[in-house]
Structure 1
Amino acid sequence: MNLSYWEYKSWLSNIDYTIVGSGIVGLNAALHLKTQHPKATILVIERGMLPNGASTKNAGFACFGSLSEILDDLKSHSEDEVLELIKKRVAGLQLLRENLGDKTIVYKPWGGYELFLPQDKALFQECISKMGAVNKLLKPVFKDAVFSEGSNNFNFKNIENSLIFNQFEGQINTGKMMEALLHKVQSAGIKILNNVNVLEYSESNTSVKVKTDNFEFDTLKLVIATNGFASKLGIDNVKPARAQVLITKPIKNLNIKGTFHLDKGYYYFRNINNRILLGGGRNLDLKGEETTELVQTDLIQNRLEQLLKETILPNETVEIEQRWSGVMGVGDQKIVIVKKLSDKVSCGVRLGGMGIAIGSLIGKELAEIS
């Protein structure tokens, strides 16, 4: 342990709560713990320079599920379970907006659209036929019809003529959101240590010993909010799911505005600063994308570029400016894992790609059980 007396005493002594992961869940858990226990010493540990999972790498969708995603969920979950999932996502989004403010996170209520490729004609017809039933299911939450059939006003090519519109979907600026959340946490006197990788932990009668790649220390309580990296700390039923993304250079006279979904949510795109941000494609290699390695693959990046050129912007010469990857936490069920692993250790993981929607609420729930 190559720490000075000052470093150890100031940052790693008398810690009441240590939170592993400085994403949406971890930072919200820290804030709620500080509210519950104002005198507590709270430390957040993050493996990356910035949140290393999905919180700063996502597409910035303020969404709760496209129509085809909801129909897919209804095949593996009960109606009550799906309704509860959507209620939590809506409540989480509301909490995020209340905590940080719409202006701060650049929230735009422009609605969401679902597109269907020619090979998805059967899925499109299923969505149209079941739209009324899903709207009825969601009516108690939204007090209005969520989904409606709309026209292709964006000149997309090689898709079904009709789009499905979701009037309650929006978009945010992910960077602004996390910047504001980090500022709020630090202003509350909560310490954050970056570039620290937690390797393992062990419990004694009085504390939890945390071993990192640089040092060890003791904490009274440990809170795990690492989502897609949860299995590295021995948490079962959570698999990493890498999401690959690209963004174009600015495009003149871009007339696309909103958030857009294809193929049961496996592809998604949006406008941002006269650019198109496009991500997804892990369904092309589901097993290969069960990884925490933050790189891109030709298979998926080529497919994203193909969608960009053939469907989204078929009449434009488009240049790609950046590519990146993030890691989500998924499992056989969409239900988030929020539980105590022991008297001193708790976790909030497996957000299923809905971190923006549900992360604030899960952070609050995690604080309440820790």
Structure 2
Amino acid sequence: MPRPWPTDPPTAAHRAAYAGAATTSFWLDDLPERAGDPPLSGSTTADLCIVGGGFTGLWAALHAKADDPSRDVVLLEADRIGAGASGRNGGFAVASLTHGLGNGLARFPAEMPALERLALENFAGIKDDLARHGIDAQLEETGELLALLEPHEVEAAQQDAELARAFGHDVEVLDAVAMRAEVDSPLFLGGVWDRTGAGVLHPGRLVAGLRDSALVAGVRLHERTPALGLERAGDAMDVRTPGGTVRARRTLLATSAYPPLLARLRHFVVPVYDYVLVTEPLSAEQKASVGWRNRQGIGDGGNQFHYYRLTADDRILWGGYDAVYRRGGPVGPQYDDHDPTFAALSQHFFATFPQLEGVRFTHRWGGAIDTCSRFSVFFGTAHGGRVAYATGYTGLGVAATRFGARVGLDLLDGRETEATRLRYVRRKPVPFPPEPLRSAVVALTQRGLAAADRHEGRRGPWLRLLDRLGLGFDS
């Protein structure tokens, strides 16, 4: 492991801290019980069929009905609504549509002023939608705080802050003393606090609120209804399920990291597993020992980075670092529990906050991220414009999914907008190679990212080659 993480393996005490943890998402456990929406039974028709009951699908359903209340909308979810990435993420709501300014400038330099403006407009639109539909997602606009753990990260902080200010962000660079006054860890050498277009929320509450609002708007929801096939039916599309078929004039695919109904998408999306721990609620004394009065969402500055935040009841959510890819990209509940990663997360948590020794973790879980080579959502249409998709968010999608849903609907409706004219929307990412080369490339890239962290951020020949090819892999 790179500095500043321990080089010794995790101990029995690190494993004991999460031994009794529930292997389910805290966010979904924190919701009241509800009756499930009925599976599809028999055949039906619709104006719009949405495949996927996460953020993208739910935002699309709401906006489709807002655009035209008479439009008949059916939404299909293979499991329970929000059971995928939308109910398993860290709840970081960050406006960026490009996985940060640096990534966006590397790929869409001419369009970044427009993309940043559209990102902030979308963020404001989220708040408007929450207010309009009465959704209490526990949104806290605390900004995002980058924790600097290495000297080379501190050296780059002023330059990064100036770049953000050039795009209108309110950014403060913190030295070690100021950073530890915000959140106290012996590992922190400084920080960068961006107060613009960022905060944290409760993703489970957001999913539940969007679902309830979709029902009120007249959307027909079917859970436990996996889409098995997609076929042309004259001027419409048939979406085949175990219990029947939906024949729809238009179909929006919002399936994230799950196997897509369009074979072409398998070349562009790699399912990568991310893992999370959540502590028991901190006592008043424990919370005081850490500080964190301003409750920012935090990420540290390495290629292999952790993300962490407080919940409403003062638990700490702690995730990231490992990105686990399995050959062939399988996705399923059998991969949600991964002891080697949880052990490393526990060890790193107590290295970051030694004052919290003895704290227990109540929840541990994993989930698949729909990674693409440009690290941000991409779009497309198929079957003569009857099908559209938005996928590849790469772990920064809580806010961007609303934008993705909006663009997907505009593509289906043939509506030209500022967004649909952008190269960002019109261009696909570089595809990943097929197996077995894909696994070899992913492993080599992960080793390169870890090596860069060990060598003051310097990217080796392999990472520089990938940069030139426009091929990325998120750590």
1:14-62 Cα offsets, whole Å, 9 max, x none, are 2221100111111111122222332222100001123232111111112
Residue type at the aligned position of 1:250:
P
1:1-370 alignment, distance < 5 Å: 7-8=41-42, 12-64=43-95, 70=100, 72-73=102-103, 76-101=106-131, 104-117=136-149, 120-136=150-166, 138-139=167-168, 142=169, 145-149=170-174, 150-153=178-181, 154-160=183-189, 162-168=190-196, 169-229=198-258, 231=260, 233-234=262-263, 235=265, 236-253=267-284, 254=287, 255-256=291-292, 257-262=295-300, 263-264=302-303, 266-272=305-311, 273-283=313-323, 285-286=324-325, 291-294=330-333, 295-342=336-383, 343-370=385-412
Q: Is the 8 A contact 2:147 2:192 kept in 1?
A: yes
Gap change, CA 1:173 and 1:146, over 3 Å in 2: same
Mark the runs of 5 or more structure 1 residues left unpaired by the alignment: 1-5
Q: Is the 8 A contact 1:157 1:314 kept in 2?
A: no
Residue type at the aligned position of 1:170:
G
C-alpha separation in 2, matches of 1:166 and 1:366: 29
Residue type at the aligned position of 2:173:
S
Please state how far the C-alpha of 1:278 moved relative to its aligned partner: 1.0
TM-score, normalised relative to structure 2: 0.68
Alignment partner, residue 3 of structure 1: none
Residue type at the aligned position of 1:345:
V
Q: Is the 8 A contact 2:180 2:188 kept in 1?
A: no
Alignment partner, residue 417 of structure 2: none
Please state how far the C-alpha of 1:216 moved relative to its aligned partner: 3.2
Q: Quick one: higher RCO (CA 8 Å, sep 6+), 1 or 2?
A: 1
Q: Which moved further from structure 2: 221-230 or 182-191?
A: 221-230
Q: Is the 8 A contact 1:242 1:289 kept in 2?
A: no
Gap change, CA 1:289 and 1:308, over 3 Å in 2: farther
Gap change, CA 1:299 and 1:84, over 3 Å in 2: farther
Residue type at the aligned position of 1:157:
P
Gap change, CA 1:244 and 1:366, over 3 Å in 2: same
Q: Is the 8 A contact 2:49 2:246 kept in 1?
A: no
Gap change, CA 1:282 and 1:214, over 3 Å in 2: farther
C-alpha separation in 2, matches of 1:325 and 1:350: 18
Please state how far the C-alpha of 1:93 moved relative to its aligned partner: 2.0
Q: Is the 8 A contact 1:92 1:359 kept in 2?
A: no
Residue type at the aligned position of 2:138:
V
Cα RMSD, aligned residues only? 2.6
Gap change, CA 1:310 and 1:258, over 3 Å in 2: same
Gap change, CA 1:53 and 1:266, over 3 Å in 2: farther
Q: Is the 8 A contact 2:279 2:361 kept in 1?
A: yes
Please state how far the C-alpha of 1:192 moved relative to its aligned partner: 0.6
Please state how far the C-alpha of 1:265 moved relative to its aligned partner: 7.6
Please state how far the C-alpha of 1:184 moved relative to its aligned partner: 0.7
Q: Is the 8 A contact 1:89 1:354 kept in 2?
A: no
Mark the runs of 5 or more structure 2 residues left unpaired by the alignment: 1-39, 413-475
1:123-175 Cα offsets, whole Å, 9 max, x none, are 33223344223322x12xx4xx3342242122212232x12112223111212
Task: Report the 3-state secondary structure (helix = DSSP H, G, I; strand = E; otherwise coil) of the residue aligned with 1:185.
Answer: helix
C-alpha separation in 1, matches of 2:370 and 2:244: 27
C-alpha separation in 2, matches of 1:180 and 1:123: 39
More strand per residue = 1
Give aligned-pair identity as a percent. 19
Gap change, CA 1:339 and 1:63, over 3 Å in 2: same
Q: Is the 8 A contact 2:135 2:206 kept in 1?
A: no
C-alpha separation in 2, matches of 1:282 and 1:85: 29
The count of aligned residue pairs is 351
1:44-97 Cα offsets, whole Å, 9 max, x none, are 0001123232111111112246xxx74651674243355554444333222111
